[in-house]
Amino acid sequence: MIVLLISISILINDKEKVMIISIASGKGGTGKTTVATNLAVSLGSDVQLLDCDVEEPNAHLFIRPTIEEVKTINTPVPEVDMEKCNLCGKCGEICQFKAIVVIGETVLPFHELCHSCGGCIEVCPEKAITETGRELGIIEKGHRNGLEFIHGRLRVGEAMSPPLIKKVREYTRSDILTIIDAPPGTSCPVIASMKGADFVLLVTEPTPFGLHDLKLAVGAVKILGIPCGLVINRSDIGDDQVTQYANEHDVPIMMEIPFDRRIAEAYSRGEMIVEVMPEWKEKFVQLYHHIEKIAG
């Protein structure tokens, strides 16, 4: 009987786990990675964690995955064959990003400014432009026990993170739960990390900075039309304005993590809450069930 119940619950779980949860915040350093890694590890197998904070990825420092695959990601940029070019200047005209310019007797592509739209290639009447690659960074894939781990690492000096984030998101599997660790802010890299998610879990701290940036993050989630909930980290510092805001705007508070020097010190060593205080595992599992209820 017990065996039967367990297998039924596994079956149900498998079905229900097909969901994308994005963990975002607005303000940096509020605990996105803490929530993402603890949630992923607490749920065990049939979960993948995508670290989309490609500028400063941190989840791997806590997950410590075994990396099995490293891939360099390039974005196409133009290369001009001056034998074929007649200096008509149409490429420079169509480019919105000043990434290709005709100067005197030559055409200069500025690869670092290029958004890879392909307009110059399309418009060139002499078919003088082909594509070469600019390295955006790398994607590493690995695992920790049953947990699948993928992250992107933006090349230092590269300005554009959204194309690399989109490449990381291509690893999203449709058969298991996907947890995304998003970058801070509310502009394009964050949108690229939230779009298409079934639920956005916002992590904030109860301070004026935390509240101000939370409002922006809630605005971003509303534009995308995704249900969201809130985790208040270091919940006993600061003031009660975040709680008030959440209540007034129907953003459910789904977890509160009090300030605890043990948690802060464990974090500083690269350890997860559930590793130093195993009783938290159940709370993260409950958090997931709560999300499931809202998003499902």
Residue ranges that bind other proteins, judged by CB under 8 A: 26-30, 33, 55-56, 58, 61, 94, 96-97, 115-119, 122-123, 154, 156-162, 183-189, 191, 195, 205, 207-209, 212-213, 216, 219-220, 223-224, 237-239, 264-265, 267-270
Closest CA to 179 of 20, 35, 58, 63: 20
CA distance 93 to 89: 6
For other proteins, give the closer residue by CB, 14 or 56.
56
To other proteins, the closest distance from the beta carbon of 276 in angstroms equals 14
> Dihedrals φ, ψ of 66, to 5°?
-85, 120
| Minimum CB distance to other proteins, residue 183 (Å) | 7
Could you tell me if 164 and 154 are in contact, meaning their C-beta atoms sit under 8 angstroms apart? yes
Whole-angstrom distance, CA of residue 95 vs CA of residue 97: 5
CB of 207 to other proteins, least distance (A): 6
**For other proteins, the closer CB: 271 or 292:** 271
What are the angstrom distances between the C-alpha of 180 and each of 98, 99, 215, 234? 33, 32, 20, 22
Least separation in angstroms between residue 237's CB and other proteins is 5
Shorter beta-carbon distance to other proteins: residue 212 or 249: 212
Query: Following DSSP, what letter does each residue of 177-239 receive, concatenated?
Result: EEEEEPPSBSSHHHHHHHTT-SEEEEEE-SSHHHHHHHHHHHHHHHHHT--EEEEEETTTSS-
Q: Which is nearer to other proteins, 7 or 130 (CB)?
A: 130
Residue count (the chain): 296
Minimum CB–partner distance for residue 208 and other proteins (Å):
5
Q: Which is nearer to other proteins, 67 or 97 (CB)?
A: 97
CB 11, min distance to other proteins, A:
35
> Measured from the CB atom, is 40 or 176 closer to other proteins?
40
Nearest to 36 by CA among 199, 188, 159, 154: 199
